[in-house]
Structure 1
Amino acid sequence: MAVFTPVSLQDLSSWIDQFPLGKVSAVKGISSGIENSNFFITTEAGEYVLTIFENLNFEQLPFYLKLMRHLADHGVLVPAPVANRDGELVVPLHGKPAAIVSKLEGSSQMQPQAVHCAAVGQMLAKMHLAGNSFPLFQKNLRASDWWHLTVPKVLPFISDDLQHLLRAEIHFQDAFEASAVYKALPRGPVHADLFRNNVMFSGEQLTGFFDFYFAGCDTWLFDVAVTVNDWCIDVATGVLDSSRVVAMLNAYHAVRPFSREESSAWQPLLRAAALRFWLSRLYDYYQPRDAEMLTPHDPAHFERILRLRESQSVPPLPVTQ
């Protein structure tokens, strides 16, 4: 949610007329994140979020926005996309695809406790079950195909030790994806980026998940692993906090029970989730794009997490006997 494409109030004055929102009175860039240009906009109908998409195209975007609409219609707390007068959810702005969604109440919980992790786990399981009936398919665009394309682009910039770690983990994940256990994992639409700053709370009440623009179809357990690797750790070290892990996993399991195959795949997918974000942060750090208000994330954070998930035991998944 950086600003690659600036937008002014004047830019929106006539553009907004195609939406049932009235006039725009304020626009403010959102500085967090690194993929798209995002803005809070204030209209006569209320506050909304405007996104200009910097990488996704007009053909890809209906998957994300229709998924959000589907989830909202099935009781999952997510922003609702706003259609224009022609029923379109994606429209051009400054020559790029853009969309407007409702703004969630509350704020991100950056120091989560077990109660927050349980709420996230419960809603994540509801999201996976609701997504099961979503008719569109798009693969996770940051899964193993993307890893193989991206590794050669970062290897020249990193030390021999890090090159060895990266190559070894890719080899491990390739072998695991070929296994019968991996192929038996339940799957469907996933958020794939459910970090603390993509969830809103009002006190201890979860008010919604947002920023679905890395969503795709993958194993549900990968989505759980991404979430645990951010919500249930000591940020300074990457070490898992067992009480938060157990709270999240138990709450998820109560809604959608984990399978025996998922139990066997748990540690490999925690490693896969760490690898995905280490690799993307390496790429963003060494191959940055120009943007206003953009500070690349430190790749070393997920390097530490990957090494820990390789070397240390992790709290197991609850599995129904």
Structure 2
Amino acid sequence: MSVYTSLSQSDTEAFLAHFELGTLVSYKGIAAGIENTNYFVTCQQQGRQSEYVLTLFEHHNNNEVREFVRLAHHLGQQGLQVPAPLAARDGEWLHSLKDKPAIICPRLPGEHIHDPQPQHCEAIGRALAELHLAALPLHNRRNDSRGFDWWVTISPELSSDLTREEQTLLEDELHFQTQQRAQWLSLPQGWIHGDLFHDNALFTADGQVGAILDLYNACDGALLYDLAIIANDWCCDINGEWKAGCVEALLNGYESVRPLNDAEKTSWNLVLRGAALRFWLSRLLTRRIQQQQAGEMALQKDPAEFKNKLLARRTVTVN
């Protein structure tokens, strides 16, 4: 179980005493956490039970947490289904528990899907466009720590882990992306999720988006790039082959809320390639770190998946 900080019943009750959430019924550690400690918490108030998620941040201080949770807080105030922290009686939403920054959010409805279909892609497209528009008024966007500059600086370091053929592919794609840098910068910019893979969304039984999760990587970027990240995960198989109707549904859903401009439409394949490159590099770095730390530790996510998707995007244009 990924619970790094254990809580007793009295710990949990003392934390809840700051809120108007009722009395504690039960609490249970969540095994799915990777970096932070999470608990499901059930409270009862006036005969009605409600569920929440209590998070303790294991590797960040209060200022860091406030910085990367403020987008979720803002979106929650706009009525979006995201893990937005609840305010206590004093109006503060960021607290300390066991000397760790801590927040509590409503437990959002829905389940993860394992094989997104066109209806899911259309729904997430709409939800992403709503997120992009709702986030626009929030200033001081975070820099993308895995953006273009990172692609350029990390590639020489990772190149030694690649075959000669892969090195050639990486060098050629970086050259292409560098030549198109002005085109990237001309695209509409704003807050992007930056990591909206299908395991970062919940769907209700009727196929609607119940929640968009894990906003901790949200940053400044081209809005189209966020859409491309989704397309490269939700809309194709592991080799990059498009699933029938999924890309079209994704774009239709997004444009029903925020139509793409001409520059975005002509840049679609460029940005798909960039999104595939970014996650190939990220997974290569993760593999290196895992090997250094644990020798033969099993790799959770294969870099070859996004190398293959990059190859597919270099040869197939989607309009």
TM-score (norm 1): 0.84
Match of 2:69 in 1: 65
What residue ranges of structure 2 are gaps of 5+ in the alignment?
45-49
Runs of 4+ more than 4 Å apart: 10-22, 54-57, 92-96
Does 1:184 find its partner at 2:183? no
Q: Specify the alignment match of 1:319 in structure 2.
A: none
* Partner residue, 1:31: 32
> What's the CA shift for 1:17?
4.4
Aligned residues of 1:38 and 1:49 also touching (Cα < 8 A): no
Partner residue, 2:47: none
Are the equivalent residues in 2 in contact too, given 1:40–1:47 (CA < 8 A)? no
What secondary structure, in the 3-state scheme, does the structure 2 residue paired with 1:189 have?
Answer: strand
Question: Relative contact order (C-alpha < 8 Å, sep 6+): which is higher?
Answer: 1
Task: For 1:44-59, list aligned pairs within 5 A.
Answer: 44=43, 46-53=50-57, 57-59=61-63
AA of the residue aligned to 1:25: S
**Is 1:226–2:225 an aligned residue pair?**
no
Name 1:256's counterpart in structure 2. 258
Count the aligned residue pairs: 307
1:147 is aligned to 151
CA distance in 1, matches of 2:264, 2:314: 17
With 302-311 and 147-156 compared, the bigger mean Cα shift is at 147-156
Could you say which residue in structure 2 is the equivalent of 1:300? 304
Instruction: Output the aligned Cα RMSD.
Output: 2.7
C-alpha contact 2:3 2:38 (8 A) present in aligned 1: no
Equivalent in the alignment of 2:313: 309
Measured against aligned partners, the alpha-carbon deviations of 1:211-244 in whole angstroms (never above 9, x if no partner) come to 1011011110000000111111124x22122411
Partners in 2 of 1:90 and 1:48 — Cα distance?
15
Between the aligned partners of 1:158 and 1:4, the Cα distance in structure 2 is: 36
| Bigger Rg, which one | 2
For the 8 Å contact 1:50–1:100, the answer to whether it is kept is yes
Query: Larger deviation: 15-24 or 40-49?
Result: 15-24
CA contact (8 A) 1:63 1:137 kept: no
Q: Give % identity.
A: 36
Task: Describe the superposition over 1:60-102 as per-residue Cα deviations: whole angstroms up to 9, x where unpaired.
Answer: 3324322112222223221221234554433445554443322
Per the TM alignment, residue 263 of structure 1 is displaced from its structure 2 partner at its CA by 1.4
Normalising by structure 2, we get a TM-score of: 0.85
- Distance, in Å, in 2 between the alignment partners of 1:171 and 1:56 is 36
Report Cα offsets for 1:21-46 as digits up to 9, x if no partner.
444732223336x5x22423223253
Contact 2:82 2:213 in 1 (8 A): yes
SS where residue 237 of structure 2 aligns?
A: coil
SS of 1:169's equivalent in the other structure is helix
